[in-house]
Structure 1
Amino acid sequence: MLEAPPPLWRRRRAWLSLGTSLALLIWLGAQLDLEEAVALVQGASWPWLLLAAGLGPLQVLLSAERWRRAVTALGLPLPRSEAISEFALSTFLNQVLPGGMAGDAVRVLRQRRQDRPIGPVVRAAVADRALGLGVHCAVVIAGLLAWPWLHPGIPRPAGAVGLAVLIAGAMLSAAWVPEQTPIWGRQAAQMRTAVLSSQVVVGQLVLSVLLTCSFLLGFACCGVALGQPLGAATVTVVPWVLLAMVVPISVGGWGPREATAVALLPLVGVSMEAAAATSALYGLTALAGALPGALVPLLSRREP
């Protein structure tokens, strides 16, 4: 069974995540024209920001359904209403707690309190997250392949192709470990059952594609809100920006997301200030969209 890291390591990672976010944001602030970035944010179009924030609850519904299907594929019943409320809470916690995965851990522990065996619950959660990351990486690679046609005359980011292939190869190697492999093999087989078995794979992939598209759409809405439509960069550059949020050394993706946006979006004609402002607005709208999850513990206490 996958074990939780010791408390000391969790505390150190929390401080590392907080420090990373703060350090990157402070460093970016020193590189940018903050007055210009703030002016862009102040002039943002509220309808587009509301649309971006409104995608949050939809993403919770899609994510909860994908997770529910992973859990039930391993033989554990999970009502849809419970899956939605638990995923809403974990999404909110992932936004506000260091590391980006604290919400997942809380969701697993709350399932244990429902007398569900911890092993399959953990494996379903890991498989669910891995599938989402895998589909996102596929979009990253597709964007790189389409780059010469979507951005003629602009070279791809240095090292991007190699990094994308490395990430994809690592994920495939981890996913297709033979079942006979000691320790990890049986767990990997159960994770494949949760998201890639013939009974669930089509639905899981469709949900993952819809989720990835909704994330990209949310970022694009923030660009339009600033009067900076991203166009083709939505499928070539933005996937990299959002991929930076996956690295578990920040708070809600703050810092790595903005640094990646400032590094890559100027390649396709977006100013550094507009890139940072768009990324920051995406972070704020994502947080706003996750706020309903904060009500889950309060509503749970009222249940008989």
Structure 2
Amino acid sequence: MSAATSGEEATTMGPARRWLRWVQPVGGAVVVVVLLWRVGPGLVVDALGRIDGWSLVAVSGIALLTTACTSWRWVLVARGLGLCLSLREAVIASYRSQFLNVSLPGGVLGDVHRGLSQGRDSGEVGPAMRSVIWERSSGQAVQLCLAGLALLVVPSPVRSQLLAAPAILATAAIATVLAVALLATRRSRSRVGHGVRAVTTDVRRAVLGRRTWPGVVGTSIVAIAGHVATFLIAARTAGIVASPVGLIPLAFVVLLAMALPINLAGWGAREGAAAWAFGAAGLGAVQGFATAVVYGGLVLVASLPGAAILAVSSVRRASRDGRVRGDAHA
């Protein structure tokens, strides 16, 4: 490929990336604004006012467990790629990542930050970023499977509608994999073929390794169960009186929507999906929106250890930079 072609691709991709960076938070903001216009801001204040000490303690404890699980999953994936990552380092980076995800647009900047930080520390930015990508992707794959299972097993008055979400996502994923594989077969020497082989190697080493996949699946199941439990606590705090078992399918629909990077500091797709799911289940869209608002408030508080970690890191960095400047002047 010529340098001119590479330059043209960079020019083409630059505006596209900038456009996507704006669309993600704006899309989430639009959803929130529309919902607020429909239900009124008073509902948000009332929902957040329902959060009590019990719910905060319970969700913070669950967050500690889920963070430990996802951190160990990251350790397993990173080691599969040949990186050295301790559980302590992973937990600290994961808490920091969670806070950034719920306080910055897009919902993924925290993961980008932990990948880059780990890459700088290890001297291998590429493998570190890929470890984050495969850690998140493997968790989403397990969540998709559990969502389909929950929607099939747990009785729901809107089962046929809710089953469409994971079914569409699974079909799209399979179709994409088959299309890329076919293209790679026909053009084995192309960049696409090389990319597919690299992805296949990564997945085999980082996720599907004999000593890796049981831990990846196990930690994912526990973490997802924690997220569902957090949603049920949010529903109870918001005053929902429906059966917790009946809310499980709705929780999975909201969790799937939260994986979409269309939000404003975590707000947007979550509230829209909750309003739709609760409305379709006959519980009322307003109740779904209130539950999502409480969920967002609880998760924000549970992520505050990440804010403390960021503050301590900033102080240490400022102190280190000050010593370096002092030595330079001396």
Residue in 2 that maps onto 1:219: 231
Q: Is the 8 A contact 1:134 1:171 kept in 2?
A: no
Alpha-carbon spacing, 1:123–1:144, altered in 2? closer, same or farther (3 Å): same
Kindly report which structure 2 residues correspond to 1:273-288, keeping only aligned pairs within 5 A, or say none.
Answer: 273-288=286-301
Residue in 2 that maps onto 1:82: 89
Correspondence for 1:260 among 260, 269, 273: 273
Structure 1 Cα separation of the partners of residues 147 and 308 of structure 2: 34
Structure 1 Cα separation of the partners of residues 50 and 310 of structure 2: 36
Structure 2 Cα separation of the partners of residues 92 and 284 of structure 1: 12
Correspondence for 1:123 among 120, 130, 133: 130
Q: Is the 8 A contact 1:21 1:255 kept in 2?
A: yes
- Deviation string 1:113-153 (CA, Å, 9 cap, x unpaired) is 11332232222111111111111111221122124xx23xx
C-alpha displacement of 1:219? 0.7
Residue in 2 that maps onto 1:243: 256
C-alpha displacement of 1:196? 1.7
Alpha-carbon spacing, 1:70–1:219, altered in 2? closer, same or farther (3 Å): same
- Deviation string 1:157-211 (CA, Å, 9 cap, x unpaired) is 53x4344223123445667976974322222321232122111111110100001
C-alpha displacement of 1:222? 0.9
Structure 2 Cα separation of the partners of residues 44 and 96 of structure 1: 19
Query: Computing the radius of gyration over CA atoms, which structure comes out larger, 1 or 2?
Result: 2
Unmatched segments (≥5 aa) in structure 2: 1-9, 321-330
Q: Is the 8 A contact 1:16 1:250 kept in 2?
A: no
Q: 2:61 aligned with 1:54, yes or no? A: yes
> How many pairs were matched up?
296
Unmatched segments (≥5 aa) in structure 1: none
TM-score by length of 1: 0.86
- Secondary structure of 1:65's partner? helix
Q: 2:204 aligned with 1:197, yes or no? A: no
Alpha-carbon spacing, 1:115–1:143, altered in 2? closer, same or farther (3 Å): closer
Alpha-carbon spacing, 1:238–1:199, altered in 2? closer, same or farther (3 Å): same
Kindly report which structure 2 residues correspond to 1:34-49, keeping only aligned pairs within 5 A, or say none.
Answer: 34-35=41-42, 38-49=45-56
Alpha-carbon spacing, 1:284–1:43, altered in 2? closer, same or farther (3 Å): closer
2:169 corresponds to which letter in structure 1? I
Counting aligned pairs with the same residue, the percent is 26
Kindly report which structure 2 residues correspond to 1:159-198, keeping only aligned pairs within 5 A, or say none.
Answer: 160-172=162-174, 181-198=193-210
Q: Is the 8 A contact 2:134 2:207 kept in 1?
A: yes
C-alpha displacement of 1:217? 0.4
- Secondary structure of 1:77's partner? coil
Q: 2:219 aligned with 1:207, yes or no? A: yes
Structure 2 Cα separation of the partners of residues 139 and 212 of structure 1: 9
TM-score by length of 2: 0.80
Which deviates more, 9-18 or 99-108? 9-18
Q: Is the 8 A contact 1:60 1:87 kept in 2?
A: yes
Which deviates more, 177-186 or 76-85? 177-186
